[in-house]
Amino acid sequence: GIKCGIVGLPNVGKSTLFNALTNAGIESANYPFCTIEPNVGVVPVPDPREQALAEIVKPERILSATVDFMDIAGLVEGASKGEGLGNKFLANIRETDAIVQVVRCFENDDIVHVAGKVDPLSDIEIINMELILADMESLEKAVQKVIRVAKSGDKEALAKQALYEKVLKEVEGGKLVRLVELTDDERKMLQDLHLLTIKPMMYIANVNEDGFENNPYLDAVQKVAEEQGAVVVPISAEIEEQVAELDEEDKAEFLAEMGQEEPGLNRLIRAAYELLGLQTYFTAGVKEVRAWTVKKGATAPQAAGVIHTDFEKGFIRAEVTAYDDFIEHQGDAGAKAAGKQRLEGKEYIVKDGDVMHFRFNV
């Protein structure tokens, strides 16, 4: 699945957040592959459209799209030099599709801050610097390696050398690779290096219950994030952990008391989904209503391939109904009668919320 790595300094609330995320997921008992590794949680993406579809189709079960969250504890200053098992953690981050950085924006005299005081900007700098140092090392090694081939005049190697050196220079100046201007081709050429700071990143500002407004720590995080074109999701990990443990009834009551319609985690999960450039399409039948994840811009055969690779290979056509039309006309038959069900071919670009049936050869 799509994987987000949770990073941050010690004592900022990573484990608390991870517990909240994984507890919130347990209630959907429909996930056969729920526990992969102890530090990976399969978290359903909350989407109210599933319920609306289910009311029409009356399926046996509903399956949500999921995002995997991985708790990557222990990224500390010096990690890139191999301190504190640093290399293992960097290797973990390499596996992820996006980085979720938790930043401490709450005061609590009982909880030690590793740097002595709450200072989100310095925390962000420490973490980002470790990631940048790791990328610097990858780039330096890559330059050394490619230089040997480039010497013989090999065109591809020469292009790679030029690119690696260009990116290395930016990274040496403290820039995240994500913020270096690159063409699509250049991005592709960098793929083998598995750089860390090229990944999309968002900040989770972990605040106290009363810390969502007039919180200078939060304001500071928002300002840096803006400069980096990154998203900030303010959340109180401690509250989310408590909410996640409640049963449905108590949860609704608790949220109502706090004047919220849904747990803050839902915002976080959706933001992660958005960050990864993902969207959802649905299959809706009597057996199940199911949300599937595809990249924005995916074609109909690629969408079919998410269900099964054979569906992509043997793709013939898709019957597609926009979500709103499906709801308005109360299902496939109604949508078809109203002329709202389309037959789409291989070139069709899937839209968020499409309800799809695939026809394929086996």
Asked whether 198 and 190 are in contact (CB, 8 A), the reply is yes
Instruction: Tell me the residue ranges of DSSP E strands in the chain.
Output: 3-7, 40-44, 61-63, 66-71, 98-104, 201-206, 231-235, 278-284, 288-295, 315-321, 342-344, 355-360
For residue 11, say whether it is annotated as part of any ligand binding site: yes
11 binds ligand GDP (CB under 6 A): yes
Q: Angle at the Cα of 347 (from 341 to 353), degrees rounded to 5? A: 45
101 binds ligand GDP (CB under 6 A): no
| Binding to ligand GDP, residues 68-87 (CB under 6 A) | 73
Phi/psi of residue 230, nearest 5 degrees: -110, 155
Instruction: Give the rounded distance of the alpha carbon of 223 from its chain centre.
Output: 22
* Smallest separation (angstroms) from ligand GDP to the CB of 83: 17
By beta-carbon proximity to ligand GDP, the closer residue of 15 and 260 is: 15
* Smallest separation (angstroms) from ligand GDP to the CB of 49: 31
Residue 335, amino acid: A
By beta-carbon proximity to ligand GDP, the closer residue of 106 and 273 is: 106
Phi/psi of residue 74, nearest 5 degrees: 90, 15
By beta-carbon proximity to ligand GDP, the closer residue of 193 and 221 is: 221
- Cα torsion angle, 89, 91, 97, 99, sign: positive
Of these, 2, 15, 137, 331, which contacts ligand GDP (CB under 6 A)?
15
237 binds ligand GDP (CB under 6 A): yes
39 binds ligand GDP (CB under 6 A): no
Question: Among the candidate windows 39-47, 186-194, 232-240, 258-266, which touches ligand GDP by CB under 6 A?
Answer: 232-240
Q: Angle at the Cα of 295 (from 264 to 267), degrees rounded to 5? A: 5
Of these, 50, 238, 312, 354, which contacts ligand GDP (CB under 6 A)?
238
Binding mask 197-226 toward ligand GDP (x if CB under 6 A, else -) reads: ---------x-x------------------
State both tokens at 346. Answer: 């291989």
Q: Angle at the Cα of 241 (from 49 to 255), degrees rounded to 5? A: 55
How many residues sit close enough to ligand GDP to count as binding (CB under 6 A)? 17
Of these, 4, 5, 7, 14, which contacts ligand GDP (CB under 6 A)?
14
Binding site for ligand GDP (CB under 6 A): 8, 10-16, 73, 106, 108, 111, 206, 208, 236-238
